[in-house]
A and B are shown apart, each in its own frame.
Chain A
Amino acid sequence: MRRLRILSKLAWRNLWRNHRRTAIMLGAISVGVWAMIFMTALTQGMVTEMIRDGISALPGHVQVHHPDYRDDPSITNLIPMTDTEIAATFGPAGFSAWSSRIKVPAVITSERDSRGVTLLGIDPVRERDMIFVDYDEVEGRFLESVDDRGVVIGHKLADTLDTEVGKRIVLMSQDPDNDIADRGFRVVGLFHANVEAFEETYVFAGKKTLQNMLRVGDRVTEVVVLGEDYRNVEDEYAAVLALVDGGVEVRRWTELDTYLGTMLKVMDGFVLVWVIVIFLALSFGLVNTLVMAVFERVREIGLMLALGMKPGDILGQILIESMLLLVIGLGIGNLLAWLTIKPLEGGIDLSIVAEGMEMFGAASVLYPQLRLEDVVLANVVVLILGFLASLSPAWRASRYEPIEAITKVD
């Protein structure tokens, strides 16, 4: 403890002896750490948005389907339970949110044109906070009940179909016997979505209305459950598994959309790789600075050894000096990152590359996300690797022969 105090004092004073060099090194470390955290926050923000949008497209962290539905998303592959049974099973299970739906491919036709869409029959009351549509932002109105007779479509789809609120469209799909099931609807609302493709793809109708149109009685194609945290849905997964028997397939969202599921893992890996790459680029400068610092101080180090300091103390002193440098650099870097990310948390407008972001599956507004665990990761990696990188110059310093060091002349 006592030695630590002396060593720290010496290390601290030595750090500021060559203030230019220290300042340059601090600049490098700060920029590096800032870049680590800033880039990570942007990436995490993007991934979170992508996953949130992705999940809101699927929606549901854990989903239950007929075993053949995923390969063949057709009305013939209904869940072998009635919706009433499903409600009786899932209702009391205490999920934070769950719902059952009909989800089938369909063709929507206006008097002008037709398009292929994904038709969703939902319970609008239950799904209010589950789907990506904000009911209050809908032009016209959103669906009001399971037997609402209207449909809600996206703005973009309405444009291509040349239709609007109040006009009629026809939806065509098939019933379980592959007879054409079609029905006219009145467009009651137009929704906006973060991701433009959603506006073209999704059409919402009442669940009961669709059940009648498709002649499936009290049956649905999927049950979805939302968890508290999309990053970990194991509890919900286990709970759902316990509720259903073998006649259905239960899947986590990471399995349903492997792109997004993998994205989460790949991005976590990317963050670590990025932090390490930056550190390596920094490490050359760090080692260089220490080597120079040691080289300039050969005589003093010799003197301290001659006066009775142990080699271990010299090692410690250089390591402390390096750690001080890193800690200050980390402090400035973290602060810079915080200062630059905070004002951007309201969102960075990327609409000039909106369609490109959409191709990645991301929205055109990027919300950087400063996560504590990423900041901790960056700091810990820098400290640990920095310590390891400093060992060699520190070790060399401690191995000086006092006599040679003192008598060294340049």
Chain B
Amino acid sequence: MNLVLRLAWRNLWRQPRRTWLTTGAMVFSNVLLIFMISLQFGMYRLMIDNSLQAFTGHMQVQAPGYIDDQKIRQTVPNVRQLAAALRQELGSETIAARASTFVLASSEERTYGIAVYGIEPQFEPQVSSIPGLITAGRFLDADDAAEIVIGSVLARNLRVSVGDELTLLGSGKDGSFAAAVVTVAGIFESGVPDIDRSVAELPLGLFQDVFYMEGSGHQVVVNAPRLSEADTLQSEVEALLPPGQDLVVQDWDALQPGLKQAIQADMSSAFFMYGILVILVAFSVLNTQLMSVLERTREFGIVMALGLTPGRLGRLVLLETAMMGLMGVALGALLGGALTWWLGVHGFSYPGMEEMATKFNLPARMYPRVTLTSLLAGPAVVMLFSLLAALYPALRLHRLHPVEAMRAA
């Protein structure tokens, strides 16, 4: 080992208890940070996936303003053809057309206001998880059959089961009265209460007939292979939109604005907490390194008299801190990684989590996932701030005068 490294290392162990306590503060924070960050980002991932996969998709082609008002008149003309063109141009199957409106749905016993969607039975399974979540009956298969699939809660509220009839009352695109009688073909259960309570799907052909859509719809849902590729895909989709038509592509953030902001709000409070932890560790390091410098005043005076510059001594102090920091990172990553991994395998829960989790489309048991980022991000910041904290004691050395220092007790 290099002599300077050896010197720094030995200096650390002159006060083993102090070194361990300072390292302990680092390890404590690192373990906590690793666990929290793993949990947090795993959770965000799930929130996004669960919310988008069910229905929304990564992006949608819509008429401008539809996103705010969702008026039946704000249409995408020739929606079916647009979806087909996009599928062909992009060589992707995960694209489907939809139309939607609100209707009053009546069974024999009950009447509820619901959102109905006209979907393409052939392509909808590529963009939404709902077709795969049918618990009774089957998903739609013919484009103009008088059939409907509804959420499980809605089915219960309407007191209908597969084979029963529903009457839909609403208004068409031109504002005229629209009505249809449809048979319940299937019932789905997505686990997202809002969707199970209020969503119903019809074949797009039927929808267009009943609501006088004249070939138009309201959205073309486009899914990227991965969320991270959504941005690139979006510009491609934008380039392919038919010229002269007033259409926009809305990304998932615009479609589910609550989602990203909920994550941001949660992240800012989490980062506040992480920040405080890191600051407290920095205080601990500042305290330790300042003490260790003050204790060694006389010693430093001697080596300075021998010709060592304050800069080199300062680097020694920083090196000592870096060594402590590395021990903190190593032990923290080891313990934090092991703990988080164990919890990731076995899962964990705390009282009340189930109620909280369903609100955000999350499972009741949490399985934090350790990634390289979650493992190293927190400890790296702790390390950085520890070094920053050690700067003050290191720079103080410049004020040291060798003769006076040697005389110090």
A interface residues with partner B (beta carbon < 8 Å): 18, 20-21, 24-25, 27-28, 31-32, 35, 39, 42-43, 71-74, 76, 105-109, 111-117, 159-160, 162, 172-174, 178, 180, 258-259, 261-263, 265-266, 269, 274, 277-278, 280-282, 284-285, 287-289, 291-292, 295, 350, 352-361
Report the bound CA distance from A31 to B356 in whole Å.
Answer: 30
B114 contacts across to A, CB distance below 8 A? 116
Which partner residue on chain B sits nearest A35 by CB separation?
B276
- Contacts A42-B269, A160-B70: A107 and B102 contacting too (C-beta < 8 A)? yes
Asked if residues A180 and B111 are in contact (CB atoms below 8 Å), the reply is yes
Contact of B280 among A31, A117, A262, A350 (CB under 8 A): A31
Contact of B284 among A42, A72, A274, A285 (CB under 8 A): A285
Which partner residue on chain B sits nearest A393 by CB separation?
B17
Asked if residues B352 and A265 are in contact (CB atoms below 8 Å), the reply is yes
Asked if residues A292 and B18 are in contact (CB atoms below 8 Å), the reply is yes
Asked if residues B22 and A288 are in contact (CB atoms below 8 Å), the reply is yes
Report the bound CA distance from A391 to B21 in whole Å.
Answer: 15
List 10 additional A-B contacts (Cβ < 8 Å) besides A25-B283, A113-B171, A160-B68. Answer: A24-B287, A39-B272, A74-B157, A281-B276, A284-B21, A284-B24, A285-B280, A350-B265, A358-B258, A359-B262
Asked if residues A356 and B352 are in contact (CB atoms below 8 Å), the reply is no
B358 contacts across to A, CB distance below 8 A? 259
Report the bound CA distance from A76 to B351 in whole Å.
Answer: 36
Asked if residues B287 and A282 are in contact (CB atoms below 8 Å), the reply is no
Asked if residues B355 and A116 are in contact (CB atoms below 8 Å), the reply is no
A173 CB, min distance to chain B CBs, angstroms: 6
Asked if residues A173 and B258 are in contact (CB atoms below 8 Å), the reply is no
Chain B, interface size category, equals 35 or more
Contact of A359 among B32, B102, B258 (CB under 8 A): B258
B288 contacts across to A, CB distance below 8 A? 288
A359 contacts across to B, CB distance below 8 A? 258-259, 261-262, 360
A179 CB, min distance to chain B CBs, angstroms: 9
Report the bound CA distance from A82 to B29 in whole Å.
Answer: 62
Which partner residue on chain B sits nearest A263 by CB separation?
B356
Q: Is B40's CB within 8 Å of the partner chain A? A: no
A149 CB, min distance to chain B CBs, angstroms: 22
Asked if residues A266 and B283 are in contact (CB atoms below 8 Å), the reply is no
A35 contacts across to B, CB distance below 8 A? 272-273, 276
Report the bound CA distance from A121 to B284 in whole Å.
Answer: 61
A109 contacts across to B, CB distance below 8 A? 170-171
Report the bound CA distance from A259 to B113 in whole Å.
Answer: 24
A260 CB, min distance to chain B CBs, angstroms: 9
Asked if residues A291 and B18 are in contact (CB atoms below 8 Å), the reply is yes
B25 contacts across to A, CB distance below 8 A? 281, 284-285
Asked if residues B18 and A357 are in contact (CB atoms below 8 Å), the reply is no
Asked if residues B111 and A281 are in contact (CB atoms below 8 Å), the reply is no
Report the bound CA distance from A343 to B103 in whole Å.
Answer: 48
Report the bound CA distance from A85 to B198 in whole Å.
Answer: 35
Asked if residues A117 and B258 are in contact (CB atoms below 8 Å), the reply is no
Asked if residues A277 and B32 are in contact (CB atoms below 8 Å), the reply is yes
Q: Mark B149-160, 1 if CB is under 8 A from A, else 0.
A: 000000011010
Asked if residues B104 and A265 are in contact (CB atoms below 8 Å), the reply is no
Report the bound CA distance from A24 to B114 in whole Å.
Answer: 62
Which partner residue on chain A sits nearest B275 by CB separation?
A35
Q: Is B45's CB within 8 Å of the partner chain A? A: no
- Contacts A291-B21, A359-B261: A116 and B113 contacting too (C-beta < 8 A)? yes
- Contacts A259-B355, A355-B257: A160 and B113 contacting too (C-beta < 8 A)? no
Which partner residue on chain A sits nearest B286 by CB separation?
A24
Report the bound CA distance from A89 to B286 in whole Å.
Answer: 69
Asked if residues B101 and A288 are in contact (CB atoms below 8 Å), the reply is no
B104 contacts across to A, CB distance below 8 A? 107, 114, 172, 180
Report the bound CA distance from A284 to B102 in whole Å.
Answer: 60
A178 contacts across to B, CB distance below 8 A? 106-111
Report the bound CA distance from A350 to B356 in whole Å.
Answer: 22
Q: Mark B233-272, 1 if CB is under 8 A from A, else 0.
A: 0000000000000000000000001111111111011001
Q: Is B7's CB within 8 Å of the partner chain A? A: no
Report the bound CA distance from A25 to B286 in whole Å.
Answer: 10
Report the bound CA distance from A117 to B114 in whole Å.
Answer: 9
A274 contacts across to B, CB distance below 8 A? 273
- Contacts A180-B111, A262-B352, A353-B264: A285 and B287 contacting too (C-beta < 8 A)? yes
Give the residue among B29, B113, B269, B281 with the most A Cβ atoms within 10 A. Answer: B113
Q: Is B404's CB within 8 Å of the partner chain A? A: no
Report the bound CA distance from A266 to B109 in whole Å.
Answer: 40
B294 contacts across to A, CB distance below 8 A? 20
Q: Is B69's CB within 8 Å of the partner chain A? A: yes
- Contacts A28-B283, A35-B276, A284-B28: A180 and B169 contacting too (C-beta < 8 A)? yes
* Across the A-B interface, the 6 shortest Cβ-Cβ residue pairs: A356-B261, A116-B113, A174-B111, A284-B25, A28-B283, A359-B258
B73 contacts across to A, CB distance below 8 A? 112-113
Q: Could you give 13 example pairs across A and B, Cβ below 8 Å?
A: A109-B170, A160-B68, A160-B70, A180-B111, A259-B356, A281-B277, A284-B21, A284-B22, A284-B284, A285-B280, A287-B21, A288-B22, A357-B262
Which partner residue on chain A sits nearest B115 by CB separation?
A116
Which partner residue on chain A sits nearest B360 by CB separation?
A359
Q: Mark B352-367, 1 if CB is under 8 A from A, else 0.
A: 1101101110000000
Contact of A360 among B21, B32, B175, B262 (CB under 8 A): B262
Contact of B258 among A43, A291, A356 (CB under 8 A): A356
Report the bound CA distance from A166 to B262 in whole Å.
Answer: 37
CB contacts under 8 Å to A, within B142-192, are 156-157, 159, 169-171, 175
Report the bound CA distance from A281 to B115 in whole Å.
Answer: 51
Contact of B283 among A27, A108, A357, A361 (CB under 8 A): A27
Which partner residue on chain B sits nearest A350 by CB separation?
B265
B283 CB, min distance to chain A CBs, angstroms: 4
- Contacts A262-B352, A355-B257: A31 and B279 contacting too (C-beta < 8 A)? yes
Report the bound CA distance from A240 to B269 in whole Å.
Answer: 40
Q: Is B348's CB within 8 Å of the partner chain A? A: no
A265 contacts across to B, CB distance below 8 A? 351-352
Q: Is B71's CB within 8 Å of the partner chain A? A: yes
Asked if residues B170 and A114 are in contact (CB atoms below 8 Å), the reply is yes
Report the bound CA distance from A116 to B104 in whole Å.
Answer: 8
B263 CB, min distance to chain A CBs, angstroms: 7
Q: Mark B11-30, 1 if CB is under 8 A from A, else 0.
A: 00001011001101100110
A262 contacts across to B, CB distance below 8 A? 352, 355-356
Contact of A114 among B171, B261, B263, B284 (CB under 8 A): B171
